[in-house]
Amino acid sequence: MAFDRYITICDPLRYATILTNARIAKIGLVGLIPAVLLILLEPLLLKRLPFCANHVNSHKHCEHIAVMKLLFGDTTVNRTYSLVIIFVIIGLDLTLIGLSYGTVIRAVLSISSKKAYQKALNTCTSHICVMLMSYTPSLFSALIHRFCQGIAAHDHVLLAILYILVHPMLNPGIYGVKTKELCHKVGKYTCRM
């Protein structure tokens, strides 16, 4: 999204020639390949250890950490690998996002028109809020699963469900909060109560 915003702001007349479908697919593959390779190793690490007699996952979806709780044996390698993966993926993603939006914001600050400057900055702010809203709960959920062993199993399940459901439901609200029609309707319904 940051690259898209950068092209839109800095070179809007060449947008269609720079961001072709083929180039977008290549950018997507560059982002997808490392993630897939890193995640594919997790099932291989799980496969090498025997499972306990209890094969019932207490979570609503199949998380690596939940499956690890069903393993019998030393899961130190699995735990270390999953923790490293969390920090590599989230750390690398946030670093690249920060660098790209730093470039975008630097380009936005060079815009002379105040109206165009505000519009570009508002769009970037929405994207940054969505990214923070996505990455913060995922990091929080992963760290809680690994380091807070005193929390009841149903609380872990609740946190996982909230992580999966809440931030996708809030995305339209973040992007839509700037539209005048939505603000007017929300204000109208809020003032009536």
- Orientation of helix 76-109 relative to helix 114-147, angle to 10°: 170
Q: Are 127 and 1 in contact (CB under 8 A)?
A: yes
Question: pLDDT at residue 193 above 60?
Answer: no
- What CA–CA distance (Å, rounded) separates 1 from 126? 11
Question: Which residue is it, tokens 């769009």?
Answer: 123
pLDDT for the residue 14 = 85
DSSP string, 75-132: -HHHHHHHHHHHHHHHHHHHHHHHHHHHHHHHHHHT---HHHHHHHHHHHHHHHHHHH
| Range 16-35 average pLDDT | 86
Q: What average pLDDT score do residues 78-107 get?
A: 80
Of 51, 87, 85, the C-alpha closest to 70 is: 51
Q: Which of 9-23, 54-68, 79-93, 95-109 has the highest mean pLDDT?
A: 9-23
Tell me, rounded to whole angstroms, the distance of Cα 186 from its chain centroid: 27
Q: Pick the more confident residue, 24 or 45.
A: 24
Do the Cβ atoms of 2 and 100 come closer than 8 Å? Answer: yes
Which pLDDT belongs to residue 143? 73
Distance CA 106, CA 116 (A): 14
The residue behind tokens 């469900």 is 161
Residue 161 has pLDDT above 60, yes or no: yes
The pLDDT value given to residue 31: 79
pLDDT of 103 reads 80
Would you state the pLDDT for residue 178?
67
What confidence score (pLDDT) does residue 182 get? 67
Residues 6+ apart with CB under 8 A from 27: 3
Number of domains in the chain: 1
Q: 29-84 pLDDT, tens per residue?
A: 887 887 787 778 878 877 777 777 666 666 666 666 667 777 777 778 877 887 78
Q: How does pLDDT run across 114-159, given as a tens digit for each residue?
A: 777 777 777 777 777 777 777 777 777 777 766 766 777 677 777 7
Q: What is the pLDDT of residue 59?
A: 60
Range of the domain at 83: 2-192
Backbone angles phi, psi at 142, to 5 degrees: -65, -40
